[in-house]
Structure 1
């Protein structure tokens, strides 16, 4: 593991599904709400697909002791949610996005007493102990006939190294 593969590690955790762990699946192929869960924003995103892209917003090296340092990644999950509903209801689409975000937050929260995302990190969403969700204005999206979007931000710490 290096700091260069942190986005891929986090995307793998979000795309994973193990019915035994009690966490929700996010990919539609596993019963979740997203057609796409992948690392990095593509040049041409999938059209008309519920998509979640894992991006790194910030990277810090935190000195934890005289010769110890730790990589801290600030992740940003970019969600794109098409405004299509069998009933034509804008409210139903927004409600479905809220439900999908809730599942993402459960997955980010991780397993009970294990915040490592399956050993991929030292801890996730623990220092600082916050996850933020910012929703784009749905009125502007509806007027432009654009997808609904939101951003979810949180940090992950890697294991300490000497240096």
Structure 2
């Protein structure tokens, strides 16, 4: 079944999500919100959940910074990021820019994102980002229909 997801933007626009869901014309059609992780923090979506407990939240975008020297090895950062996403009520984590070149191209956004994997334009070598390894770890252990158990320890 096809669903319409509202917003598809950063956490810092949580107020806009509440306003949209407050509109009965909108909430009759959808109660789903897509979030990006570039600005703000996943804790902000709790404000939306408090105002609209029946809202469905999805994390649809947040790529690794290709200019970060730890781009290939920052898997623990992505583990913390994914844990925060799930702890704050989002139902899924979707990769953005699965494959880009070593310059983060093609990328039309304002952030210097790399792909989950990089295909080097000169030799077609594939390298895996820290985000790749974060996804690898989580996807090995989380099955469809899994339930998030409330926790408060650092990942």
With normalisation by structure 2, the TM-score equals 0.31
> Which is helix-richer, 1 or 2?
2
Q: Which has the higher contact order (CA 8 A, sep 6+)?
A: 1
